Amino acid sequence: MRIALRDRVATAMVGTAVILAVGWFAGLPGIRTLDIVSITVGVLLLGVPASAAAVIPGFAGLIRGSRSYLLIASTLGLAALIAAAFTLVNRREETLVALVGLTVALWAGATLRHSGAFSERRMQHSH
């Protein structure tokens, strides 16, 4: 499986966001001194460009492609945005966990889609 540059960049960004959040939850020195708002902003600053890198170059194909993938990805993206907003307002760890989990789910879906794992041709040959 060949991984495109945009997916490698997105992987590095999402991986950094996960490390940041896990480090904060684990109480790593230096990271735990940050407040939950700073961690949330960090996850957003890493996750949003990763999503843009995954979608923008192939936006036309995304619109003409699988409607179910578009619906799922859009729903997950909206849920991530809502989780981020709730975390920023309420400072709840549960919504930060949701934000990180949704960010990872969006990254995984985009990476698998770009790898051809969900291509219609592959799906037809698997039956």
Residues 6+ apart with CB under 8 A from 50: 9, 10, 13, 14, 17, 103, 107
Quick: pLDDT tens for 88-100: 999 999 999 999 9
The band of 110, judged by pLDDT with boundaries at 50, 70 and 90, is confident
- Our count of domains for the chain comes to 1
The structure's pTM equals 0.82
The band of 1, judged by pLDDT with boundaries at 50, 70 and 90, is low
Backbone angles phi, psi at 107, to 5 degrees: -60, -45
63 is in which domain, residue-wise?
Answer: 5-125
At position 24, the amino acid (one-letter code) is: W
